[in-house]
DNA sequence: CGGGCCCTTGAATTCTCTCAAACAATGTGG
DNA sequence: CCACATTGTTTGAGAGAATTCAAGGGCCCG
């Protein structure tokens, strides 16, 4: 990472952060905005397929996603991969690495991504001087915990079809909150292998399950575009609560 | 919960908190101890089998476990239960309810438990006046996230035998850190149904898998006592990293 | 003694995986 | 423009894993 460039060279100074236009994100107070702007040390572009953080490293950076898709994962010795969650705009990356000693998972870009870079060392200043922001970070960690709880329930207790329906609804509505959908469609950068690795299913079985959902006209997925054709039926299949998304903070 | 009793009626005033004797827990600074003592509003005894917090409620309390075992879980409409994690001394309960609007999971006591009660409303004071403690809370949330990541990997990518071995090692070493083991034995208040609900396996299959581990002389489990007979073989089976536990904070 | 809870076992069924092969779409270099 | 490699999807078939259903046993407690 280059040393901090003058703020005016930033593509997205915090005052014009693209996330600020989305209803899903809670607006900053003025002094918080100033502090976050001061915390920011750079910007990062990652091409699809790039590893952004590696398990075992203790990254010097905290990142906030401004655009694009990524995912967090862990590998087993035998090469099996478990995708832990998909990462979307507003998500905060690297907290584990900043708080514990090292990252216990890796992060990879699914599409080209644009990210905001913060110095890990300054996290302490944030806790000391901006309890509201500290609270926001805890909010984010707590929300991620909630999501993981839901995924655990999904893997442990649902059948392959329900599990898949749940995942697609989950990803779609997260994308929707971020203005990345058009009607019932999203540009969807995952492959079936990613879905399989997220659900703990084999690729073959994932394929058959997806085709089964497509045959029943619940979804259509071609050319990197996912369409939810019958959201109610999907929600029903997956026991999905269609609760309204509340505003969330970001850093 | 009774209104705050005078501090001297406490069974465990914070200065004599039983957790302070355990190496696994990071000691407080003096002023932190004072503040936490002031934050504490009571104590709670829960009998085995009691529901301590219910999904959907927005509990007024934050709890720290002083002794005993419990678990967090979610239910599906069909009655299926996913146990998300086991709760042991030092664990902090109810953060989700305090930060988001309501709890998305329930908590039940596995054995008799003794807990420390904090007023949820005062959490904000903690963030405002004690950034070190705020950081500790984030640490705990972040650590729980890490554990959930590991469980997701466990459910998604390991076979029943490896999954079971992993869980037993996980629980045993957590109990060990808290001084609850004697040699290779723990008093283990879970039933096979709990293990099944934690691993996403049926009771019958869990039983067969446990018996298989017992037949291979890796474990012995009778009379609420679990013994790890061959920890190396278990670790090998489960791809277990026997990393030394680092000190953790508590509130 | 009866009821409840937990563990155990057998048998049949269903789900999911692995192996193997083929196909489509895309991009590259010759 | 074609041959070829690469990546992602699809299908069939057989094997293996895990589930369900059913029943019995042990133990504790009222």
Instruction: Kindly report, residue by residue over A27-69, the tens digit of the pLDDT.
Output: 999 999 999 999 999 999 999 999 999 999 887 799 999 999 9
Return the residue matching tokens 């934690």. Answer: B198
Q: Say what the pTM is.
A: 0.95
B191 CB neighbours strand C below 7 A: yes
Task: Choose among B82, B96, B156: nearest Cβ to A142.
Answer: B96
Residue A127 sits at the chain B interface (C-beta within 8 Å): yes
For strand C, the positions having any atom within 7 A of a protein Cβ are 5-11, 15-20, 26
CA distance linking residue B228 with residue B238, whole number of Å: 13
CB interface of B with A, residues 218-247, below 8 Å: 239, 246
What sign does the CA torsion over B176, B177, B178, B182 have?
positive
B211 CB neighbours strand D below 7 A: no
Residue A104 sits at the chain B interface (C-beta within 8 Å): yes
Q: Is the Cβ–Cβ distance between B116 and B63 less than 8 Å? A: yes
Q: Is the Cβ–Cβ distance between A220 and A214 less than 8 Å? A: yes
A80 CB neighbours strand C below 7 A: no
What are the Cα distances from residue A197, in Å, to A81, A155, B84, B226, B241?
6, 11, 20, 33, 22
Q: Is the Cβ–Cβ distance between B227 and B176 less than 8 Å? A: no
Residue A118 host element (H or E): strand A113-119
pLDDT for position B1: 44
Which chain A residues touch B134 with a CB distance below 8 Å? 127, 131, 134-135, 138
What values do phi and psi take at A51, rounded to 5?
-85, 120
What are the Cα distances from residue B67, in Å, to A137, B62, B184?
29, 16, 20
**Mutant choice from B84, B85, B153 vs A, greatest count of A C-beta within 10 A:** B153
CA distance linking residue B190 with residue B185, whole number of Å: 14
B48 CB neighbours strand D below 7 A: no
Q: Partners of A72 in the beta sheet?
A: A85, A107
Which chain B residues touch A245 with a CB distance below 8 Å? none
Task: Over range A170-175, report the average pLDDT.
Answer: 98
Return the residue matching tokens 């302070």. Answer: B20
* B9/chain A closest Cα distance in angstroms: 33
Residue A125 host element (H or E): helix A123-129
Q: Is the Cβ–Cβ distance between A104 and A74 less than 8 Å? A: yes
* B6/chain A closest Cα distance in angstroms: 30
In chain A, what percentage of residues exceed pLDDT 70? 97
What are the Cα distances from residue B30, in Å, to B14, B89, B92, B165, B237?
11, 22, 21, 41, 45
Subunit contact B135:A124, Cβ cutoff 8 A: yes
Residue B149 sits at the chain A interface (C-beta within 8 Å): yes
A207 CB neighbours strand D below 7 A: yes
CB interface of A with B, residues 76-95, below 8 Å: 76-77, 80-82, 84, 95
**Protein residue nearest nucleotide C8, by CA to C1':** B207
CA distance linking residue A108 with residue B121, whole number of Å: 39
pLDDT for position B8: 57
Subunit contact B141:A146, Cβ cutoff 8 A: no
Subunit contact B141:A143, Cβ cutoff 8 A: no
As a whole number of Å, the CA-based R_g of chain A is 19
Task: Choose among B138, B145, B200: nearest Cβ to A156.
Answer: B200
Q: Which two tokens stand for residue B143?
A: 């650590």
Nearest to A41 by CA among A10, A77, A18: A10
pLDDT for position A1: 45
Give Cα B108 distance to the centre of its chain: 11
Task: Over range A142-148, report the average pLDDT.
Answer: 98
pLDDT for position B69: 98
A210 CB neighbours strand D below 7 A: yes
Beta-sheet strand order (sheet of B225-228)? B181-182, B185-187, B225-228, B219-222
Nearest to A225 by CA among A236, A238, A214: A214
Residue A31 host element (H or E): helix A30-39
Which nucleotide is closest to A208, CA to C1'?
D10
pLDDT for position B2: 44
Instruction: Going residue by residue through chain B, which has 251 residues, state the pLDDT in tens, using 9 for 90 and above.
Output: 444 555 557 888 999 999 999 999 999 999 999 999 999 999 999 999 999 999 998 877 999 999 999 999 999 999 999 999 999 999 999 999 999 989 999 999 999 999 999 999 999 999 999 999 999 999 999 999 999 999 999 999 999 999 999 999 999 999 999 999 999 999 999 999 999 999 999 999 999 999 999 999 999 999 999 999 999 999 999 999 888 889 999 99
First-to-final CA distance of chain A: 20
The per-residue pLDDT for range A1-15, each reduced to its tens digit, is: 444 555 557 889 999
Transcribe chain B into DSSP letters.
Answer: -PSPPPGGG-SS-GGG-GGGG-TTBPPPPHHHHHHHHHHEEEEEEE-TT-EEE-TT---SEEEEEEES-EEEEEE-TTS-EEEEEEE-TT-EE-HHHHHSSS-SSEEEESS-EEEEEEEGGGHHHHHHH-HHHHHHHHHHHHHHHHHHHHHHHHHHHS-HHHHHHHHHHHHHHHHHHTT-EETTEEE----HHHHHHHHT--HHHHHHHHHHHHHTTSEEEETTEEEES-HHHHHHHHT---PPPPPB---
């Amino acid at each position: 990472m280059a040393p901090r460039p003058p703020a005016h060279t930033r593509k997205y100074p915090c005052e014009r952060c693209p996330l600020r236009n989305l209803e899903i994100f809670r607006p900053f107070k003025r002094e918080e905005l100033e502090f976050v702007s001061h915390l920011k040390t750079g910007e990062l572009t990652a091409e699809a397929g790039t590893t952004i953080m590696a398990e075992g490293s203790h990254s010097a950076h905290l990142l906030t996603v401004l655009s694009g898709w990524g995912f967090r994962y862990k590998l087993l010795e035998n090469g099996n991969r478990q995708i832990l969650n998909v990462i979307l705009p507003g998500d905060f990356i690297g907290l584990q690495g900043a708080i514990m000693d090292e990252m216990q998972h890796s992060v990879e870009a699914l599409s080209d991504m644009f990210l905001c870079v913060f110095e890990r060392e300054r996290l302490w200043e944030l806790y000391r001087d901006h309890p509201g922001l500290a609270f926001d970070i805890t909010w984010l960690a707590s929300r991620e915990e909630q999501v993981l709880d839901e995924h655990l329930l999904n893997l442990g207790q649902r059948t392959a079809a329900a599990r898949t329906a749940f995942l697609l609804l989950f990803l779609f509505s997260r994308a929707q909150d971020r203005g990345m959908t058009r009607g019932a469609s999203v540009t969807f950068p995952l492959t079936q292998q990613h879905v399989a690795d997220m659900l703990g299913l084999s690729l073959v079985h994932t394929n058959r399950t997806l085709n089964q959902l497509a045959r029943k006209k619940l979804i259509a997925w071609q050319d990197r575009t996912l369409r939810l054709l019958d959201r109610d039926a999907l929600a029903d299949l997956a026991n999905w609560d269609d609760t309204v998304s509340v505003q969330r903070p970001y850093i």
